[in-house]
Amino acid sequence: MRLGTEEYAYTVEFMCQRLGVSKSGYYDWRSRPDSATEKRREELKTLIRKAFEMSDSTYGYRRVHAQLARWGVTAGLELVRQLMRALGLVPCQPKPKRLSLTRAGAGRCPTSSAGTSRPTPLAKNSSAISLTSKPVRAGSIWRRSSTAVRRRSSGTPWTTIIRAL
């Protein structure tokens, strides 16, 4: 990284004195051409940016690395990650849809549909459902009932009913 021609708050003499570097050494360093490593990194940055844009900004560093390998460019995975971070390339990936069973939905209770007394699909498909539950007392013990809901088609147990004692 080279300093531009912008004016800074401190002079070159002051900074060189603080860093323990001679002024002539600083100006010699500034006039040197870029190293081979710096040139290679600039080429890789161009290729990484192209692969990232071709993916509509969805590829992360692993996929960009795989794309570079398909193009015949050898670069380490960590180097690709560092260069993507330096370029500010952040993949835009959609978050997975997560369905939650704990959030209550708005609307009526699913036991009756729109005020009619039609059975629910659960009651329709099962042959032995008893949903006569009493209010649970404080301090009551829950136990697993031996009564199981059976599927009408195969007769295999589908779920068990839990009752309060």
pTM of the model: 0.47
Q: Is the pLDDT of residue 114 over 80?
A: no
> Which of helix, strand or coil describes residue 81?
helix
Using one digit for the tens of pLDDT, what is the confidence trace for 39-59?
999 999 999 999 999 998 899
Identify the three-state secondary structure at position 151: strand
Task: Report pLDDT digits (tens) over 148-163.
Answer: 555 555 555 555 555 5
Does residue 150 sit in helix, strand or coil? strand
Structure tokens at 71: 């193009």
Say how many residues make up the chain.
165
- CA atoms within 13 Å, Cβ hemisphere of 118: 8
pLDDT for position 141: 55
Domain spans, the chain? 1-32, 34-93, 121-164
Confidence of residue 96 (pLDDT cuts 50, 70, 90): confident
Say if residue 165 is exposed, middle or buried (CB neighbours under 10 Å; 0-12, 13-18, 19+).
exposed
SS3 (DSSP) at 6 = coil
Which of 72-76, 91-95, 128-132 has the highest average model confidence (pLDDT)? 72-76
Phi then psi for residue 158, to 5 deg, are -105, -45
Instruction: Confirm if 89 and 52 have CB atoms less than 8 A apart.
Output: yes
Percent of the chain having pLDDT more than 90?
42
Q: What number is the average pLDDT over the span 86-97? A: 85
**Quick one: three-class SS letters along 127-142?**
CCCCCCCCCCCCCCCE
pLDDT of residue 98: 75
